[in-house]
Amino acid sequence: VHVLIVGGGGREHALAWRIAQSPLVHSISTTVANPGILALGGGLCTGDPVAWAGTHGVDLVVVGPEAPLVEGLVDRLDAAGITAFGPSAAAARLEASKRFAKAFMDEVGIPTARWSTHDDASAAHAAVDALGGACVVKADGLAAGKGVVVADTAEDAHRAVDDVLGGRFGAAGARVVVEERLRGPELSVLALCDGQRALPLLPARDHKRRFDGGEGPNTGGMGAICPPADVDADLVDQVRRTVLQPAVDGMAARGTPFRGVLYAGLMLTPDGPKVLEFNVRFGDPECQPLMMMLDEDLVPLMVAASQGRLPQRALRWRAGAACCVVVTAGAYPGVYPKGLAVRGLPPGDQRDARDLVVFQAGTREDMDGEIVTSGGRVLGVTAWGADLGAARARAYGVVPTLHFDTAAWRTDIGLPGVEG
Ligand code: AMP
Ligand code: GLY
């Protein structure tokens, strides 16, 4: 099987690494020149992935990020007769439009925060007042994780409404969503879906705030663990029954079956798990520890999901836990320099590594063949251990051996009780 990975961050390197272990796979190509993925031996797809897949004998396309899904890449691959893992554009609306997702959850009866949506500022301000001020204000469309303000005061919430409707997020902010603020620990439960069934993965948790203790600005994710110690199999099954399977059933009933990975971002409230958001793809960096924990061949599962025939059994997982620590550059998520030389990376393609892998997220090879930084999140040091403490110790043992100017990381990923 020749697999083409669309995307090229840490999530896609983790997918490529896991896929490379499949005895079915002879080549892994990518649309982004991530040196970690290219080291696994495939080609670089330039131009349109549908055309490239057609002329390069690609048997399976795995789409990592949301943007190409929302733009209908899987629909075009389907039309060309190329097997693709990921939802159609119609199913990807669960992530592309918060308004669609919230209305869908209310119709199907999936627990979520009370909400309203407005294109009119005075109605939005009234909605903030009706929720007593402490609420959450979101741009309706895709804003790369930056369009959400969790307001502590009514003043902050009103300002956020004006920011969104005032055009700060472009077209994504043509409408604003005003939500009840939920409280509790967060959890990510992802499921492989084949249009009819949702097969949950191990639960995971990401840490989005830049600094230790959940302080500082929101980022794309500073680390992730899998599974969190405070979550048991009963809770995951509750999420499957109350969230994931109803979502798959509801999308099938609308004639837009969901295939691919459905990601429920949850808050564990005193009234049970409630959905903060759906994503229609693997989380980054949750994908990194998930791939280290998965104990079976991913490729047949992806093909089965895209063909509507996932196995009627639970997935197989390693015992223990995995922890991913993200190493960032400069003042990420603010401004950061690029082109910094990266030293200390493990040699080779890490294909046979099982317990410690350095996933590359924002790197490229420069003209001298040296690996340099190309993004704010540069590396994802991912380790397995017999328990979370051991996984954490292994990851943090390696982080300081990786070098580039301005490298920085959180020190509390995988500690008990860390929020944010
Ligand atoms: P979203 O992009 O909708 O997942 O929101 C990003 C982050 O904002 C989430 O990970 C939560 O930490 C926070 N958040 C979103 N919605 C709510 C809510 N209704 N109550 C409390 N926190 C929220
Ligand atoms: N880790 C959160 C996300 O991928 O959206």
Ranking 47-61, 170-184, 311-325, 396-410 by mean pLDDT, the lowest is 170-184
Nearest ligand to the C-alpha atom of residue 206: 2
Angle between helices 121-130 and 154-165 (to 10 degrees): 160
Atom 9 (ligand 1) nearest CA: 276
Q: 418: part of which helix (H) or strand (E)?
A: none
| 293-303 pLDDT, tens digit each | 999 999 999 99
Question: Hey, what are 271's tokens?
Answer: 């009234």
Q: Residue range 123-129: average pLDDT? A: 95
Maximum Cα interatomic distance, the chain, rounded to a whole number of Å: 60
User: Residue 419: what pLDDT?
Assistant: 82
182 in contact with ligand 1, CB cutoff 6 A: yes
User: Residue 100: what pLDDT?
Assistant: 94
The yes-or-no verdict on residue 89 having pLDDT over 70 is yes
The yes-or-no verdict on residue 144 having pLDDT over 60 is no
| 198-220 pLDDT, tens digit each | 999 999 999 999 999 999 998 99
Burial class of residue 196 in the structure, from the number of CB atoms within 10 Å of its CB (0-12 exposed, 13-18 middle, 19+ buried): middle
Please give the distance, rounded to the nearest whole angstrom, from the Cα atom of residue 49 to the centre of ligand 2: 24
The yes-or-no verdict on residue 168 having pLDDT over 90 is no
Q: Residue range 176-187: average pLDDT? A: 94
Which residue carries 């994802």 as its tokens? 380
Q: Residue range 159-175: average pLDDT? A: 83
User: Residue 122: what pLDDT?
Assistant: 94
Best probe residue, ligand 1, of 100, 135, 150 (max atoms within 8 Å of C-beta)? 150
Ranking 5-19, 59-73, 131-145, 225-239 by mean pLDDT, the lowest is 131-145
Mean pLDDT, the chain, integer = 95
Question: Hey, what are 347's tokens?
Answer: 């040699």
User: Residue 67: what pLDDT?
Assistant: 96
User: Residue 146: what pLDDT?
Assistant: 61
User: Residue 218: what pLDDT?
Assistant: 87
Nearest ligand to the C-alpha atom of residue 66: 2
| 338-376 pLDDT, tens digit each | 999 999 999 999 999 999 999 999 999 999 999 999 999
Percent of the chain with pLDDT over 90: 90
Q: Residue range 76-91: average pLDDT? A: 98
Cis peptide bond upstream of 257, omega within 30: no
Atom 18 (ligand 1) nearest CA: 181
Q: What are the residues facing 294 on neighbouring strands?
A: 317
